[in-house]
A = this chain, B = another copy of it.
Amino acid sequence: MKEIKLFAPATVANVSCGFDVLGFCLDPIGDEMIIRKTDQPGVRITKIEGQDLPLSTKKNVAGVAAEALLASLATSFGFEIEIYKKIKAGSGIGSSAASSAGAVFGINELLGRPYSRNELIQFAMKGEVLASGVGHADNVAPALLGGFTLVRCNKQVDVVALPSPSELYATIIHPKIELRTADARSVLKKNIPLNKAIEQWGNLAALVSGLYTDNYELISRSLVDVIIEPERSPLIPFFSELKGAALDAGALGSGISGSGPSIYALSRGEETAKKVRQAMEKVFLPMNIDFDTYVSKINTEGIKIIE
Residues of A within 8 A of B (CB): 17-22, 150-153, 158, 160, 162, 188-194, 197-209, 212, 218, 221-222, 227
**Which of B158, B199, B203 is within 8 Å of A221, CB to CB?**
B158
Find chain B residues with CB under 8 A from A204 CB.
201, 204-205
> Can you pick out 12 interface pairs between chain A and chain B where the beta carbons lie within 8 Å of each other?
A150-B202, A150-B206, A152-B205, A153-B221, A160-B218, A191-B191, A191-B194, A192-B193, A194-B227, A197-B227, A209-B212, A212-B212
Q: Is the CB of A202 within 8 A of B21?
A: yes
CA distance A17 to B190 in the complex (A): 20
Closest 5 CB pairs of A and B: A152-B206, A201-B201, A197-B197, A21-B202, A191-B191
Q: Considering the complex, give the chain B residue whose CB is closest to the CB of A200.
A: B201
CA distance A204 to B205 in the complex (A): 6
| Distance from A139 Cβ to chain B, minimum over Cβ atoms (Å) | 15
Q: Is the CB of B205 within 8 A of A197?
A: no
Q: Is the CB of A197 within 8 A of B202?
A: no
CA distance A194 to B189 in the complex (A): 7
Copies of this protein in the assembly total 2
CA distance A150 to B218 in the complex (A): 12
Which of A197, A199, A221 has the most chain B CB within a 10 Å cutoff? A197
> Known contacts being A18-B205, A192-B192, A205-B21, is A152 close to B221, with CB within 8 Å?
yes
Find chain B residues with CB under 8 A from A17 CB.
201
Q: Is the CB of A21 within 8 A of B201?
A: yes
**Which of B189, B190, B208 is within 8 Å of A209, CB to CB?**
B208
CA distance A151 to B203 in the complex (A): 9
Find chain B residues with CB under 8 A from A191 CB.
191-194
CA distance A221 to B157 in the complex (A): 12
CA distance A222 to B153 in the complex (A): 9
Q: Is the CB of B194 within 8 A of A192?
A: yes
CA distance A135 to B62 in the complex (A): 52
